[in-house]
Amino acid sequence: MSTGRPQVELSSRLFAQRVVAATEALISFPELGRVVPEFGRRSPRELLFQKYRIVYRVKPDEVQIVTVVHGARLLPDIEEPEEPLATADRPRTTD
């Protein structure tokens, strides 16, 4: 009898790949997402992806993914996490 575990693992990997793909534009356009309504500040921001909220912080040289939360759940306290889930270096701009 099959436990379905390989299918769950495959689905999880595909979901993670799609989340990463959804956030790639943030490297060039960090203000792409909206302000998180619960906080009402410029940072953190969020992208909506399917039924999920991808919450991120814009830093001078990187974008930090703070959390990915199902839209039906309350956001965790994300004031100053110890470590972001992921970061992406942003090209430096010269003004």
**What pTM does this model have?**
0.72
CATH code given to domain 5-89 = 3.30.2310
Q: What confidence tier does 93 reach under pLDDT thresholds 50, 70, 90?
A: low
Helix, strand, coil shares, percent, the chain, to 5: 25, 30, 45
Longest dimension (CA), the chain: 63
How far is it, in rounded angstroms, from Cα 81 to Cα 93?
Answer: 27
pLDDT in tens, 49-87: 999 999 999 888 889 998 899 999 988 877 654 455 556
CA geometry: angle 3, 70, 84, nearest 5 deg: 100
pLDDT in tens, 7-23: 888 888 999 999 999 99
